[in-house]
Amino acid sequence: MWRSHEKNMNYPNLIDSKLPNVGTTIFSVMSKLAADHNAINLSQGFPDFDCHEELPALVDKYMQAGRNQYAPMAGVPSLREILAEKTESLYGAKYDPELEITITAGATQAIYTAITAVIREGDEVIIFEPAYDSYQPAIELNGGKTVHLQLQAPGYTIDWEKVKQAINQRTRMIIINSPHNPTGTVLSAADMLMLSEVTKGTDIVIISDEVYEHIIFDDQPHHSVARYRALAERSFIISSFGKTFHATGWKVGYCVAPANLMDEFRKVHQFLVFSVNTPVQFALAEFLSQKDHYLELGRFYQKKRDYFIDLIKSAKFELIPAAGTYFQLLSYKNLSREKDTDYALRLIKEFGIASIPVSVFYRQQEDHSVLRFCFAKKEETLEKAAAILNKI
């Protein structure tokens, strides 16, 4: 009997890797290290509290009702219909639930699907660093070239002159993310108008990653591209129920786009996942009818942000305020000259707290001595984390 895991076996090299520089994601690495060292895990972006008790009850209700077979490829009609109502109510944009909304197996799948539907060999895609780590691999797998533009630290704003300079006849797509992971910044109305201006008269398609659309603070509005007709006409808008309803393990999201773009999106979607968890879709459709579940989300997380900030006000870390998401950046430049990857590792091993080094969100590992901490945690977890940070 042979075993595939035996050491020193000489296997033929059957695969020339399409992603030779890609390993295990930093989120998995840091979460495993946190578990190995019994550290408080503020690295990976998930809550340590459960979703609203009504949601699992609704899933059970629809399972017991026999909603356990394939959903329609585009998603359960009642869910798409209430999402159309929600989008119009919040952003003043009308989308046809039959032709312009598709339910996906999470936001990452939606992003991959949109990129696959559009990008061909040699096409260029502009992304802004620090960038969520799924963008570049998806571009490369589809033969595209990633054009990396850096947000301007410490405020992490877009330099629109550099965007103009980067656009050429090969530019096929621009990916934006607001509220932004990992920095917690949000794009303004002025940013949206500049995006509209630089894409005017081109065939550039936009992916607007808006998974944290409801987690925005200090009474700021969320400037979805759906608010801006000239942008909406060329955009895939992607969001996530996992982030909104504290159920990241359910992996259900959605994409909104004009019919001509959505038609191409669905051509890929049907052969990638075909359809998405049926009882969960029915449950979400019913749950969304209670608007406070998402309209109050910003206040809910702002209380956590403010609580965490107040707890660490005596720490030696320098705070970079989060305007959205459930991530808080802390600079350790007054504490160490180490690389952020080394410092993050030391915090786990020596102090028992896990974070994400922001340099991993850059192609060239740009290091500003900044770590990302997730505050989507119970108060007791934040208190334990703050006690550690205050001692460093």
What angle, rounded to 10 degrees, do the helices at 278-287 and 77-91 form? 40
Residue in this structure with the two tokens 């959903």, named with its chain if needed: 71
- pTM value is 0.95
Residue in this structure with the two tokens 């969320």, named with its chain if needed: 222
Q: What does the alpha-carbon distance between residue 210 and residue 7 come to, in Å, rounded to a whole number?
A: 45
Interstrand relation of 205-209 and 171-177 (parallel, antiparallel or unpaired): parallel
Give me the pLDDT at residue 5, please: 56
Q: What does the alpha-carbon distance between residue 374 and residue 212 come to, in Å, rounded to a whole number?
A: 13
Q: What does the alpha-carbon distance between residue 381 and residue 242 come to, in Å, rounded to a whole number?
A: 21
Tell me which residue of 207, 157, 205 sits closest to 185, measured CA to CA.
157
Tell me which residue of 254, 257, 237 sits closest to 245, measured CA to CA.
254
Four-point Cα dihedral 129, 135, 139, 140, nearest 10? 80
Q: Do 374 and 46 touch, CB atoms closer than 8 A?
A: yes
Which class for 160: exposed (0-12), middle (13-18), buried (19 or more C-beta within 10 A)? middle
Structure tokens at 217: 């603070």
pLDDT in tens, the chain (392 residues): 445 555 556 777 888 899 998 888 888 888 999 999 999 999 988 999 999 999 999 999 999 999 999 999 999 999 999 999 999 999 999 999 999 999 999 999 999 999 999 999 999 999 999 999 999 999 999 999 999 999 998 899 999 999 999 999 999 999 999 999 999 999 999 999 999 999 999 999 999 999 999 999 999 999 999 999 999 999 999 999 999 999 999 999 999 999 999 999 999 999 999 999 999 999 999 999 999 999 999 999 999 999 999 999 999 999 988 999 999 999 999 999 999 999 999 999 999 999 999 999 999 989 999 999 999 999 999 999 999 999 99
Q: Do 188 and 222 touch, CB atoms closer than 8 A?
A: no
Give me the pLDDT at residue 15, please: 86
Amino acid at 367: D
Tell me which residue of 167, 191, 171 sits closest to 179, measured CA to CA.
191
Q: What sign results for the dihedral spanned by CA atoms 291, 295, 299, 302? A: positive
